[in-house]
Chain A
Amino acid sequence: MFGAGGGTSSYEEVEDTDVVFLWGSNAREAHPIWFHHLLKGINSGTRLYVMDPRRTSSAQWADVWLGLNVGSDVALSNTMGREIIAAGLVDTAFVDNATVGFREYKANVESYTLERGEQLTGVPAEVIREAAHAFATAKKAMVCWTLGITEHHNAVDNVLSLINLCLLTGHVGKWGSGCNPLRGQNNVQGGGDMGAIPNRLPGFQEILDAPVRERFEQHWGVKIQPKHGWNLTEMLQAMGRGEMTSLFCIGENPAQSAADANHVEHVLAGLDHLVVQEIFLTKTAQLAHVVLPAGASWCEAEGTVTNSERRVQRCRKAVNPPEGARDELWIISELARRMGHDWHTPSAEEVWDEFRVVAPEFAGGMSYARLEALGGIQWPCPDESHPGSTFLHGRLQKVPREGLAAPLSVVHHSPPVEMPDAEYPFLLTTGRRLESYNTGVMTGGYESALHRGESLDVSPEDAAALGLVEGSSVRVSSRRGTLIAPVHVDDGLRRGLVFMTLHFPDEVNTNVLTIDVADPRSGTAEFKACAVRVETVLQQSMASD
């Protein structure tokens, strides 16, 4: 954000802040390491507010759980913003010095009164008010979020609306305050850092920026396209249109992780050429023309990973890949060689050093030797005397501000694309559980007493109304697909809201239900909301299924 693709704060700051808004995140289960840092804070007095339609295990640790309606995040944050302005709690010195767009922002949130906020979100007005005041009056406060914010058709608006709260109250660019998307893998951040995103070059450098492109072109000796590439959703659409006919897929399982799975499988199967580089024979790999067995990056290869606090850490090879599997760097270099570019199979450190040269402001000071000596370094780290950056955007707190002002954004409430109706009366939201990981590629392969398989989680009220008990079989249908799953009664859910994970796609493929509408700016589908119907299945028909 503000031009840098990473969370602003360090884990250590989470332990030392006064107020945390954990928004659209069940970090207790999905980000357990980060949550341990938060627990340290809670144990020493941090007030935790959890915004989530479900009362999750994270919410059980909260001082206040705000159980907003699915997809009403902008309404909630705009209401808080209006309340902060109305109560005179804006950090005006910061807003004047470091931001632009306050007047437009204020005009936009004017209609989001506490009463309207309650009406849109379901959260009592008084609770919204108290949370807004707590955030605004705290000395240190941060907003942290995950997929509950980003897996929506208006993902970017959601994120911008949370950033607005930090800007309004000056909670950015200083110790203990900030805006933090939590990363779902040990190296999601690192993938973006290195340029594995469709709109940025390594070090989050804008691909549309001609001087930037020129620098890379000179270094690499090739032309770089002056436009953004496709994200996953756009690629799938392009495959559907027949514009994209070949795919090289590395360490990703879109056949099971993407929304509207039946459709995804159809377009992947229709490709002229699908190459999958993987450590497991995933569902996607099974569809491939060529599978390239790769070494596991965490133990069979050298390299680095970057975690949620932007800390680049060395990752060391412990064992050789098994027979037939190859180091990923070797695979890619070999592909390049056969395509006519001999890269001489560089070592991981040589690749990293090239990155330091092309992204000097970002990583210039992060030699392998220093990463080793300091136990990792947080970017940006421009030179070898720089200690790394615990938090970002301190420039916004400088008077006068350094660099560009941060914009307050005008965003509007926009409910989920598909809302429950008479035909599909339940709203299905999806998420994760502690003991499993995404589509189960990495966690499904071993026995665990915690694996209880997929279920349709329903509220006690709905279970009673439908005559369901724990373990009852139900048929769950959306406009796109249907599946059968056992029922789990969860009192963290309310009437009308049901929940599933995507951890066991081979048994219950949840994504046949989900809807493939994505925010065009982020490319992530609205996994968090679709309308479904729930019907009891008699034992006989189970057998015939």
Chain B
Amino acid sequence: MDIKPVVAEPTDEERAAVDALLGAPPSGWQGGERSAEDSHVAFSVGSSGLGRPDLLPALEAVQARVGWISEGALGYVCNRLNVPPADAWGVATFYALLGTTPRPRRVLHVCDDIACRVRGALKIVGGLNQMQAALAHEPSGDHVIVDADATTWMHSPCLGMCDMAPAALMISAGAPAIEYAIGGATVDGLRSLLEGRAKARGADSSTALGMTKAGPSAAPQGDSAEEPPLPQFGSASLTLLKRVGTVNPTSLDAYRAAGGFSALAKAREMGAERIISEVNEAKLVGRGGAAFPTGRKWESVRSQKNTPHYLVCNADESEPGTFKDRLLMTHDPFAVIESMAIAAFATGCEKGFIYLRAEYPLAFARLSSAVEQSRAAGVLDSFDVEIRRGAGAYICGEETAIFESIEGKRGEPRNKPPFPAQYGVFGKPTVVNNVETLVNVLPIVLDGGAHYATIGTPASTGTRLFCLSGAVARPGVYEVACGTSLRALFELAGGVPNDLQAVLLGGAAGNFIRADEIDLRLTMEDTRAAGVTLGSGVVMAFDASADMHDIVRRIAAFFRDESCGQCVPCRVGTVRQEESLHRIASGRTLGGVPAELALLEEIGQGMKDGSICGLGQTAYSAVESAMKRLRLYDGSE
């Protein structure tokens, strides 16, 4: 609206990328040729079923096809969707995986986040740097001419592959784009990728939907990580992971043969109220980090008169050190769809969104196939699922930022109230649940809430998935009953690490604990009493070889980079926090270490008290625990 003309024209390739997603322009008013009829009539973008929510997918389509979003491409997208260029620019520059300056087609995203750091990421980064400097996210100066077919690399925050650390992600723009994960990366392996060039650009495929066609299928041999085997494979105690590795994740028939969709059938017989009462009786709480009672959330949405209701499956698993949902989605995608259908049935939702982080190409392919097969087989009834991919923004896992992103906007969290149950995505009552939370609904429906509540402790029921990474013998996802001790969990993973220095619980937004605290029972009540959090189930171990100061600074840098910048305490606080840690590291403190620690405390309190959302409220947690629990800065000069 109020479009000020963007002078630059899109290239044919950019136009094709957008048209593949949105269809050919219906008129001269939306980027097509001006016809005689255009002189006397124009229809809104909405008349062809398009709208603002298509903005982010359209930008992603250009990115996937071309590798960056030029001014001409941006202008064309704006024309197609009737969005002001300044607005679209705001969106394009918000997401880290969207480039607004020229980039080569092939970009290697190399994780240098905490779990990969303790597994050699810095050595890899150093090795790559000798060959080619990393591409900055926001290059300064004028646009430079780039060799479009070359390969470049960028630093990346946690890619959710800590069990395969060190990890990298290759994204090669084209039609279709080729995206694949690289686990157990080596300097030499990545260097050879950096020497590679984009293949001859394929002719425009009329069926290729740009980015939605992108999948890991085309991964060259040797580059792609085999998903590591499930450490607990074959254990009879598994509930949530019981199908992982045993049931073909690409086949609806296989899922059905393993008892799949029986929970949905039973749920439909039970009726919505009974389902919710079972979930309440099970005392299921959210597994994404906030631990809100799921049944209460469902009741609240179910009772809303305002329709339609929406279901959002939060699959934007971006908390550093977290990769449990990735496993569920890649190895048991139908379970995610089935549990969404049950949640939707219980809460009166006709439509569900899976908001999936962009860094999970295999999960995207598996879920897309599962949705298509389920839809074709008619098992979803009137319920439908749409998969939305993120574009590299940690904040979009926040329960209201996710709505903004689905609506095609910058992922800036909303003020609450109103809460999602009243005013969620598109302003409608919305259930937003984490992947693991949803999958827990299957055993609750099948075996009853009362039975579920017998697992774990009275206050922390059921089993939980924990993501073990760092200095452990067998990293991976572990399913244990709530109440299992941290020590017992380490035993499952090959024993308590030698020279254990610290354990990070709950991710970057969680807390460090000391080696002498590992008898902690992993329940909500025990962690609360200890002043820590289970968060999203991150258990990251650091042995004596880890530079904890470096790890803490990396966490601070992560929050500074991922802060959406909307509210001042977080935008300024995360910067000030990181600066202070750097001053401590360099010895150039302002008035000595105690003064810096006092300043960190004050900044941290300001962020906790004044930030709009959980990001700012927890940005100090790990730093604080390093300071007070690990006594990391005691004796620093």
Q: Which residues of A contact B (CB under 8 A)?
A: 28, 55, 57, 59-68, 121-124, 127, 460-461, 491, 494-495
A67 and B39 form a contact (CB under 8 A): yes
Q: Is B307 an interface residue (CB 8 A)?
A: no
A60 touches B39 (CB 8 A): no
Contacts of B39 in A (CB 8 A): 67, 122, 494-495
Q: Known: A28-B2, A491-B34. Is A55-B29 also a contact (CB below 8 A)?
A: yes
Q: Find chain A residues with CB under 8 A from B41 CB.
A: 64-67, 123-124, 127
A50's nearest neighbour on chain B, judged by CB, is B42
Q: Is the CB of B40 within 8 A of A64?
A: no
In the assembled complex, how far is the CB of residue A464 from the closest CB belonging to chain B, in whole angstroms?
A: 11
Q: Given A55-B29, A491-B34, A61–B40 Cβ distance below 8 Å? A: no
Given A124-B37, A460-B34, check contact A61 B43 (CB 8 Å): no
Minimum Cβ distance to chain B for residue A50 (Å): 9
Chain B positions 1 through 41: 1 when the CB is less than 8 Å from some CB of chain A, otherwise 0 = 11100000000000000000000000001000010010111
Over the window 93-109 of chain B, the binary record of Cβ atoms lying under 8 Å from chain A Cβ atoms (1 yes, 0 no) is 00000000000000000
Checking A62, A124, A127 against B44 with a beta-carbon cut-off of 8 angstroms, the contacting residue is: A62
Would you call B202 an interface residue if the criterion is a C-beta within 8 Å of the partner chain's C-beta atoms?
no
Question: Which one, B3, B37, B43, contacts A63 given CB within 8 A?
Answer: B43
The 4 tightest CB contacts between A and B, nearest first, are: A494-B39, A65-B42, A67-B40, A122-B40
B46 CB-CB contact with A under 8 Å: yes
| B40 surroundings in chain A (CB, below 8 A) | 66-68, 121-124, 494
Q: Do B2 and A57 touch across chains, with their CB atoms under 8 A apart? A: yes
Q: How far is the CB of B4 from chain A (nearest CB, A)?
A: 10
* A64 CA to B40 CA, complexed, in Å: 10
5 contacts between A and B (CB under 8 A): A59-B42, A60-B1, A64-B42, A67-B42, A461-B34
Q: B residues touching A (Cβ–Cβ < 8 Å)?
A: 1-3, 29, 34, 37, 39-44, 46-47, 82
Q: How far is the CA of A66 from the CA of B46 in the complex (A)?
A: 16
Assembly CA distance A127 to B37 (angstroms):
11
A531 to B34, CA, bound (A): 25
- Contact status A55-B34, CB under 8 Å: no
Among residues of A, the one whose C-beta sits closest to the C-beta of B47 is A63
Complex CA gap A65/B42 in Å reads 5
Chain A residues with CB below 8 A from B2, complex form: 28, 57, 60
A123 to B42, CA, bound (A): 10
Central interface residue in B3, B29, B40, by most chain A CB within 10 Å: B40
In angstroms, Cα B82 to Cα A59, docked, is: 12
Do A55 and B42 have beta carbons less than 8 Å apart?
yes
Question: Smallest Cβ distance from A435 to chain B, in angstroms?
Answer: 13
Distance from A285 Cβ to chain B, minimum over Cβ atoms (Å): 36
Chain B residues, Cβ within 8 Å of A494: 39-40
Distance between B398 CB and nearest chain A CB, rounded to angstroms: 23
Q: How far is the CB of A389 from chain B (nearest CB, A)?
A: 31
B508 to chain A, nearest CB (A): 37
Q: Are A63 and B34 interface neighbours, CB within 8 A?
A: no
Q: Which residues on the A side are within 8 Å of B82 (C-beta)?
A: 60
Chain B residues with CB below 8 A from A61, complex form: 1
Question: In the complex, given contacts A64-B41, A67-B41, A495-B39, what are 9 additional A-B residue pairs having Cβ atoms less than 8 angstroms apart?
Answer: A55-B29, A60-B2, A60-B3, A62-B42, A64-B44, A64-B47, A68-B40, A122-B40, A461-B34
Query: Please, which residues of chain B bring their CB within 8 A of the CB of A64?
Result: 41-44, 47
Q: B199 → chain A, closest Cβ, in Å?
A: 39
Most buried by A among B1, B37, B41: B41
| B44 and A63 within 8 A (CB) | yes
B407 → A minimal CB distance (Å): 12
Closest Cβ neighbor of A459 among chain B residues: B39
Rounded to whole angstroms, the CA-CA distance of A59 and B39 in the bound complex is 13
Distance in angstroms from B429 CB to nearest chain A CB is 16
Report A-chain residues with C-beta under 8 Å of the C-beta of B37: 124
